[in-house]
Each structure stands twice: as C-alpha cells, then as structure tokens.
Structure 1
Amino acid sequence: MIARHAGTVLVGQLAVMAFGVTDTIIAGRYSEHALAALSVGAAIFVSVYVSLMGVLQALLPVWAELHGAGRGDEVGRSVRQSLYLAGIAIAVGMVALLLPGGALRWTQVPAEMRGEVEAYLAVLAFALAPSLLFRLFSTLNQSLGKPQLVTWLQLASLVVKLPLSIWFTFGGAGLPAMGLVGCAWATLCVNWAMLGCAVWLLRSSAFYRGYALWERIEPPDWQQIRQFARLGVPGGLAVLVEVTSFTLMALFIARLGTAAAAAHQIASNLLAVAYMMPLSLAIATSARVSFWLGAGDAAKARHACRLGFELAMLCALVYAGAMVALRHELANVYSDNPEVIALAALLLPVVAVYHLADALQTLCVFVLRCYRVTLAPLVIYCAMLWGLGLGGSYLLAYRGLGPWPAMQSPLAFWIMSAGALVLTGLLFSALLRWTMQKRAS
C-alpha cells in the first residue's frame, strides 16, 4: 500500500521537479549568466514556497485521521477552514517575492545579477497563489489515499510547461526572447491552468461528493485555525530552516563567481530530483500512519512506519550510488562549460552523502507530525542546520575553520551541510523511537 501510494506521488513530484530541471537546462543553454541568476532566484523562491507549502502539507495528518476514523462529513468543513490559512500564507509569500532586495543585498549577490533575479521573482509572485492552492488540493487527495488525480494533472502540466519555457525564453513566432524571465512566465501560465483543472475535478468528480466540500464557506473558526496553526506553523518554520539552510548556500556561493553558482545550481537540481523519492515515501507513510492512528490501531501504525523507512533508505542508496558513479555525465547534461562540469562533478560525491541523510530525516519529521511532535524538530533544525551547517559552511568557505584555511569553494558549503544533516537524521531517529515507545506505553 505504501509503495503504491508513494509511487503515484513520486511520478507527480518528478513531473513538478521537471519544471526546475527544464528551467535549469534551458537557462544554462541560454547563457551562463542566466543559469547563475536562476541559481539565486530559485533559491529565494524555493525558500518562500516550500516553507509555506510546509504549513499546508502539515494538515495531511488531520484529514487522514478523520478519514481513518470514518468521519468523512467533517473533512469538508476542515478543508474550507484551511482556505483562511492558505490566504494568509499567499499574502505573506507574495510580499516576500515582490520585495527581495534586502535578501540580495545582505547576501552580497553581485549587482549585475539583481535586476534579472528581481524580474524573475516578480512574475513568480503571481504564480504563488495557484501553486499553494493546488498544494492544498494535493494534500487533501494524499490524506484520502487517492493521489492519482493529482499525478495526472502534474504530468499533463509538464507537457505544457516544457514547450512554453523554451518558447518564452528563446522567443520565436513573433515573440521576443525573454531570457530567464520567460521560464517564470511559463510557470505562471501552467500553475493557473493546474488550479483550474483541480477546481473542476472537485466540482465534478463523484469521489469528493461524500465529503461535502462545496457547502457554503463558514466564517473563520479561530479555534480550528489555531489548531491548524499549532501543527502547521512549527512544521512550516522547520521546513523554512531546512530549506533556507540549503538555499542560502546559493546566495553565499554567488559571490564566488558565475562558474561556482552554476555548478552549485546543477548539484542542487540533481539533489532536488533525488529528494522526490524520500518525500513521496514520507507523504505515503505519514498518510498510512495517521490513518491507522485515527482507526485506533497503533501496531499497524508502527508497522507502516517501519516499512516506509526500509523503502526510503533502500531507494536513497540507489540514488546516491548513481550520483557518484555518473557524476561527470550528469554534469555534462546541464552545461558545456568545462570549468562548470568539473566543479559540479567534484560536488556530487558529497551531495550523495547529503541525500542519504536527507532521506532519513525527511521520513522522521513527517512521521513525527503524525504524533503531533513539531517543536522539538524545529529546535534541532535551528541548531544543526542553521548553526553547524550554514554557519560552519560560511566560516569554512570564507574565514577558515580551526586548522582548515578558507576553501573559497562551494565544496565547503556541501561538506558542512552534509555533516549537519547526518547529525540531524540521527537525532530525529532517536526522537521518533522515544515518541513511539511513549505512545505505546
């Protein structure tokens, strides 16, 4: 059950990730400058989007438990109340994307990059609302154990996104070349189309009728919204720490030059693709764990958790091995610049270690949310990823750390971040084991 659910989610997640992959390849073929600007712009957008997505994704255990307890009539009202939380998230995200100047200056992104990055983010700001609302639709389907419709929509969107990105970026048929901003316009068009299809499905599909989703929306129930926030906000902040510890690397690396930024973007993109497997398994595992907790069967919840971990670590080993063995070939797909290819190939063995630790901690944090444990992971993330990972990376890259001189290389960021994530995974594993033993007793 978990493997089938995760496989369906994975196909859809890979389709969405292909948005970033295609944009990276298209920007790299357009110009090295566009690829470097994408590295910075994508880092900011991902930090904002994934953090807010984490707030909404954290509602999955709520709806899965209602489903497991046979309280389908309560799902519709809960979903309608979640729209208020989504509205707040959209407003916060749009402000951050429309006003990125402070972050660009603080991280000393070169002035020649800033104009293109700001134009790219301004378009994506208006793609944020449909993207987050579609994520709410996706979370609902995953909690009900029916991710197939979401996957089909995501696959269809990729068929539209690829030609639009190429056309808008390079121009043709009377349209001038837009460069990197063209990729953002393609994303905006596709996101609104996906949301339109999702709304049509919610209105027309017989599957959703038993959940009374289309009743008149109630006034805000602040007690329920606060419950959502107690679960979603720490989860979203934890994702913010995790993602910014990763994406801020791109902003700090940008000062090392376009070759370093481009190589880092290649490594980041490959890691993001690999991350889709543990993410899909974490979503599927948490849906099953919450379902069985809602049904009152703790033993089956633990069994689902154990199966999810076994599958995730096996898949992570396969991905990590492929990244090491094919590092030169993979880098060559993204760029024809020998300097960029060599530097990206140097990063990928460390990226493989990062991925193994990432798979472990992702499964842990999703399952911990099923048991309503959200504050402790946030504290661990702050200490490990921001403190040891990002802070240690900056020192090793630019100041020197202990007996090691400043490396002046993106490799410093990957080494320290991978080490911090390994420790995070081990701490999360211990926390999850303690939580499950406490629940059992």
Structure 2
Amino acid sequence: MEQTHSIKEKLRQFFIILFPILVTQVTLFSMTFFDTMMSGQASPSDLAGVAIGSSLWVPVSTGLGGVFSAITPIVAHLIGGRRNYEVAHKVIQGVYLAIILAVCVILIGSLTLDWALSSMMLESGVREIARKYLIALAFGIPALFVYQILRSFMDALGETRITMLMALLSLPINVLLNYILIFGKFGFPALGGVGAGIASALSYWFLILIAIWIIVRHPAFSAYHVFGKGYPISLPTWGEQLKIGIPIGFSIFFETSIFAAVTLLMSAFDTATIAAHQGAMNFASMIYMIPLSFSIAMTILVGFEAGAHRFQDARLYSRLGIVSSLVMAVLTAIILLSFREQIAGLYSKELKVIQLTQQFLIFALFFQFSDAIATPIQGILRGYKDVTVPFITALVAYWLVALPAGYLLAHFSLLGAFGYWVGLIAGISFNAAALLRRLYMVQNKRVARVEML
C-alpha cells in the first residue's frame, strides 16, 4: 500500500485491495455453499443435517475468526507508522493464540455436542448426519484458525491478490473431495453430508500449508521473517490482540449466532421447511460476502491511514466504501429477483423445497440493503480500532430486537416460519442505523483532534 493524494488514486487503490478480497471471500464461502448444495442433491435429510451442523459451527468459527482478524488493524497501523520490525512478533503471537483456542474449541465441542443435538427436535437421521459432519470438520479446526491469522497478516500488507489465488487453488480441491466423498466416487463410500465435513477439513489443511509456503518464499512477506525466529509466548501481546479481537469476535458472533438460532428454531417445522430455509440462507450468505469484502478492505485502508494520522484520507475512503457497497446491493437485488427460481433449484430436486426456498429468497432481498451499510461501517470502525460500541449495538440489534420480533411473528402471526426472517430484517436495519451514528461521532472526534494539534 502507499499514500494517495487524489480521489482517482484512492479509487484505484481501493479496488486493487477490494477485488481480490471479494474473490477470496466468495471462494472460501463457496466451500460451505458447495457443502450445502451438494448435500442437498444427496437427500433432504443430508441437507438438513449439514444445515444444523453448520448452524452450530458457523457462529463459533466466525466469532473466533473475528478475534483473529485483530491482526489486520494491528499490522496495518504498524505499517502505516513505519514500525515494520514489530510485525513478525505480533503475527507469531496470533498463531500461538489460534492454536490454543483451537484446542479449547475441540475439547468443549467433544463435551457438549451430543447434548446440543439431543436438545433439538430433530429426526434421528438428521441428528446423526449433523453429529458426524461436525466431528469430521473438527479435524480441520487448527488449520483453519492458524490460516485466519496468516491471512489477516497478508491482507494487512495490501497483498490481497495472493490470498485470492490461495483461495482459488483450494476451491476446486474442496469441490472434487465433496464429489468423491458425498456421492461415493472412485471406490469411496457415499457418505452424504458427512463427506462434506471431511472434504472441508482436508481443504483447510491444504490452505494452511500453502499459506506457510508463500510467507516463507514470497518477497512481499519473507522480508518480515515471520517464521525466522522462535518467539516466546507474550501474554501482554495476547492481551493487546484480545482487547481488539474479543469485541470484534463477539460482534460477529452475535450476528452469525442469531442466524444459527433461527435455523435451530426452524427445527420445530418439517424437514422441507428446514431445507428450504437453509438453502435460501446459504445463498443470502453468499451475497453477504460482497459487503463483507468491503468491510475487510475498509479495515485495511482506514487502518493504514489512521496509523499515519491521515484522518481526512480515512474519512474519504469510508465514503467510497459505503457508496460502492450500496451500488453493489442494488445490482445483486436485481439478480436475485430475476433468477430466484433457478437459484432455488440448486438446493433441491423436490418441488416443495424449491417453492419454499423461492419465498424465503424474497425476504433475502431486504437483508442486503441494510448489510450494505452496516457491514462496511463495521470494517471502517475496526480500522480506527473502535470496537466496543459496535459490539454493544450488535448485541442489542440481534438478540433484543431481531430474535424476539422474529419469534413473535413466527408463532403469533400468519407469517409462520417467514416471521423469523422479518425479525432479522428489523435487527439488521437497527444495527445499520446505530453504526452509522457511531461512525459519524468517531470520525468527527479524530479530525477534531488533528486540527487541535
């Protein structure tokens, strides 16, 4: 990355950073997308089982991924402040922390998984698929967590094209493994949704091996000598990363867990409704990769400018990000509205599931407009290292607005299962409004501080 001096230069650097992130996010999410879609082609029970398993796993993985993403603003600030010599130490401490948290997740999961699944009103076949899917996925957790640290480091340097190429390499491997293990090809048994869990775990290990090799060999990263020295554990550095990462992680956890909670509450409905809900939610989550990519790009660019105390430049990047995100939301809404029947057909061969999925997709149209505002702002605030208030607004928006409203509408109105989606729309909209106000306050405070100096 480099300092920019005009709108044209900022736009160019913004899209150079953004495009690879977008491709990377869509590619990485495509692993879950293909897990869900290909499991649905095996049977509705496999789709429902993977849906339940994902609903338990995604809040944990994304929440902790938020903790690990603290490396991005930390490194961006160091680079912006020309303190490159501190980068390797910060990254290795993040790796240590990721390994510790991976072990904790696996241990806690082994003690609570059966209880969590038994507490749901699931058909026995769906419950068993969900259980085995999560057990298979657990073998890839250490690789996934360490990869998230290394990717955050690489992205913070502005080398988002390289992480894009890594993701593009891993996706065909994941799809091929899904094909072999879900449907039983080349002499392997047909494992259905469980095979999707094995395929994802193997793909995570492939990603981490490629990431380590690139960091050691590529000149953009080798100059930092990340693996060139054995650093002892530094609890103060862990504390610094957790101080930034925990609010980010909880913000993401509150957001993703509400979607997981809705999916679990959907277990009160029949298998077709669960499958249709998950199919529509899966595609809506794919679309969400667009504003999420804007968010990551904003963290990198705003963090770089804030680290150098160029707050007017940071504010300009913020405006470019939000406006561009809204434009993309309009385009994706048109695509979703025009092709929802074809999209629904990707997830099932059963007519009832396809029809229900199309109805859920209509509600997904409204998600993205609020997400197009809220999600980039979250990234902007992380670039300023302002993470506590977004954590509070996420808690209020999703658990005090979205879930109660959704439950009431689902059980005390004619909306039925669709009531949960209306509640989610209300929560996301509340969060967007609260974050917009917070951004206004933070930016004015930073600019005023510089003017006083």
TM-score (normalizing by structure 1): 0.95
Match of 1:408 among 416, 420, 423: 416
Alignment of 1:333-412 (within 5 A): 333-398=346-411, 400=412, 405=413, 407-409=415-417, 411-412=418-419
Alignment partners' CA distance in 2, 1:64 and 1:271:
30
5 Å-filtered alignment, 1:175-214, equals 175-214=188-227
2: CA distance, partners of 1:147 / 1:317: 25
Deviations 1:255-311 (A, max 9, x none): 201111111111111111111111111111110111011122111111111111111
2:319 pairs with 1:306? yes
Q: Percent identical across equivalent pairs?
A: 26
Q: Distance between the aligned counterparts of 2:95 and 2:225, measured in 1?
A: 15
In the alignment, structure 1 residue 294 sits paired with structure 2 residue 307: yes
Name the CA distance, whole Å, in 1 between partners of 2:414 and 2:232: 56
SS at structure 2 position matched to 1:234: helix
Contact 2:99 2:145 in 1 (8 A): no
Which residue in the other structure is 1:49 paired with? 61
Aligned match of 1:319 = 332
Equivalent residue for 1:24?
36
CA distance in structure 2 between the aligned counterparts of 1:166 and 1:328, rounded to whole angstroms = 24
For residue 107 of structure 1, report the CA deviation from its aligned partner: 4.2
The one of 88, 91, 110 aligned to 1:79: 91
For residue 5 of structure 1, report the CA deviation from its aligned partner.
1.1
Deviation at 1:96, TM superposition (A): 4.3
Distance 1:124 1:174 in 2: 22
- Asked if residue 149 in structure 1 is aligned to residue 162 in structure 2, the reply is yes
* Corresponding residue of 2:21: 9
Could you say if the C-alpha distance between residues 358 and 109 of structure 1 is closer, same or farther in structure 2, counting changes exceeding 3 Å?
A: farther
Count residues in correspondence: 435
How far did residue 214 of structure 1 move?
A: 2.1
Rounded Cα–Cα distance in structure 2 between residues aligned with 1:68 and 1:435: 19
Residue 435 of structure 1 corresponds to 442
| Structure 2 residue identity aligned to 1:408 | G
What amino acid maps onto 1:362 in structure 2? T
The answer for the alignment partner of 1:244 in structure 2 is 257
Aligned-residue RMSD, C-alpha:
1.5
Where in structure 1 are there 5+ consecutive unaligned residues? none
| Counterparts of 1:153 and 1:440, CA distance in 2 | 38
CA contact (8 A) 2:45 2:125 kept: no
Q: In structure 2, what is the Cα distance between the partners aligned to 1:175 and 1:111? A: 25
Per-residue CA deviation, residues 78-129 of structure 1 (Å, 9 max, x unaligned), is 1111122212321232234433233334443444422111111001111111
Q: Which moved more, 1:150-159 or 1:206-215?
A: 206-215
Q: Secondary structure at the match of 1:334?
A: coil
Q: Which residue of 2 aligns with 1:258?
A: 271
Q: Is the 8 A contact 1:72 1:210 kept in 2?
A: no
- Per the alignment, do residues 331 and 177 of structure 1 end up closer, same or farther by CA in structure 2, a change over 3 Å counting? same
Return the alpha-carbon distance in structure 1 between the equivalents of residues 202 and 93 of structure 2.
27
- How much has 1:373 moved relative to structure 2? 1.9
2:60 alignment partner AA: V
Amino acid at match of 1:50: T
Judge conservation of contact 1:279–1:363 (CA < 8 Å) in 2: yes
Q: CA separation in 1, counterparts of 2:71 and 2:221?
A: 18
Q: Give the aligned residue type for 2:24.
A: G
CA distance in 1, matches of 2:105, 2:377: 27
Aligned twin of 2:8: none
Cα deviation code 1:159-214 (max 9, x no counterpart): 11111101111113221111111111111111111111111112222222321212
SS at match of 1:175: coil
Q: Which residue of 1 aligns with 2:50?
A: 38
The structure-2 alpha-carbon separation of the partners of 1:75 and 1:241, relative to structure 1 and needing over 3 Å to count, comes to same
**8 Å contact 2:370–2:432 — kept in the other structure?**
yes
Does residue 271 (structure 1) correspond to residue 284 (structure 2)? The answer is: yes
Cα-to-partner distance string for 1:298-333 (whole Å, 9 max, x where unaligned): 111111111111111111121122212222221122
Tell me what 2:432 maps to: 425
Contact 1:298 1:440 in 2 (8 A): yes
- The yes-or-no answer on 1:226 pairing with 2:239 is yes
- How far apart are the structure 2 equivalents of 1:3 and 1:394? 40
Deviation at 1:217, TM superposition (A): 2.6
| Paired residue type of 1:217 | G
Instruction: Please give the alpha-carbon distance, in whole angstroms, between the structure 2 residues aligned to 1:96 and 1:124.
Output: 14
Q: Distance in 2 between matches of 1:198 and 1:236?
A: 23
Query: Which whole-Å CA distance do the structure 1 matches of 2:102 and 2:365 have between them?
Result: 34
Tell me, in whole angstroms, the C-alpha distance in 1 between the residues paired with 2:35 and 2:235.
40
One-letter amino acid of the structure 2 residue matched with residue 73 of structure 1: Y
Which segments of 5 or more consecutive residues in structure 2 lack a partner in the other structure?
Answer: 1-12, 449-453
For residues 107 and 401 of structure 2, the distance between their equivalents in structure 1, rounded to whole angstroms, comes to: 30
| Displacement of 1:218 | 2.1
TM-score, normalised by the number of residues in structure 2: 0.93
Picking from 79, 103, 123, the partner of 2:116 is 103
**C-alpha distance in structure 2 between counterparts of 1:69 and 1:434, whole Å:** 24
Partner of 2:223, secondary structure, is helix
SS of 1:312's equivalent in the other structure is helix
Write the distance in 2 (CA, Å) between the matches of 1:287 and 1:71: 16
Q: Secondary structure at the match of 2:346?
A: helix
Distance 1:206 1:372, change over 3 A: closer
Task: After TM superposition, give the deviation of residue 38 of structure 1 in Å.
Answer: 1.1
